[in-house]
A = this chain, B = another copy of it.
């Protein structure tokens, strides 16, 4: 949010107008956008922005830990600005993905899986969001 320019610089990503437009959008939303959604939104700030630059930038942001690609929706990768551990709820009616705080759920037993070295895990829930 704060100073995206400084954030990129201190992460070792040279801040260009294109990268700033991509980063400003993807780091400022909780909507788990696809690359094409990032392209559309970032073009409002930087109209010449190309698809290749969006993919390049998202990959670079991911390598530097500023976003995390998620494989939750069929056929696309979505980009998550929320890089701390958390869970996800997918509304099957709308396709929207919601963050569920890590503390909201508790998973036990993963240490009993001696066959696997579990580096990371999350609970993926699917259903309908209640109209509230």
Docked Cα-Cα span, A42 to B1, in Å, equals 51
Question: Which B residues are in CB contact (< 8 Å) with A117?
Answer: 127-130
Main SS of the interface on chain A? strand
**Would you list which residues of chain A between 57 and 116 have a CB under 8 Å from chain B?**
69, 71-75, 77, 89, 92, 98, 100, 104-110, 112-116
Question: Which B residues are in CB contact (< 8 Å) with A130?
Answer: 114-117
Task: Please determine whether B126 and A98 come into contact, CB atoms closer than 8 angstroms.
Answer: no
Question: Which B residues are in CB contact (< 8 Å) with A122?
Answer: 123-124
Task: Please determine whether B112 and A118 come into contact, CB atoms closer than 8 angstroms.
Answer: no
Question: Which B residues are in CB contact (< 8 Å) with A3?
Answer: none
Task: Please determine whether B116 and A129 come into contact, CB atoms closer than 8 angstroms.
Answer: yes
CB-nearest residue of chain B to A122? B124
Q: Is A48 an interface residue (CB 8 A)?
A: no
Q: Is A119 an interface residue (CB 8 A)?
A: yes
Question: Which B residues are in CB contact (< 8 Å) with A69?
Answer: 74
CB-nearest residue of chain B to A90? B71
Task: Please determine whether B74 and A77 come into contact, CB atoms closer than 8 angstroms.
Answer: yes
Q: A89-B116, A115-B130 are in contact. List 15 more A-B contacts (CB 8 A).
A: A69-B74, A71-B74, A75-B75, A98-B116, A100-B113, A104-B113, A105-B108, A110-B123, A114-B130, A115-B129, A117-B129, A118-B126, A120-B126, A121-B126, A124-B124
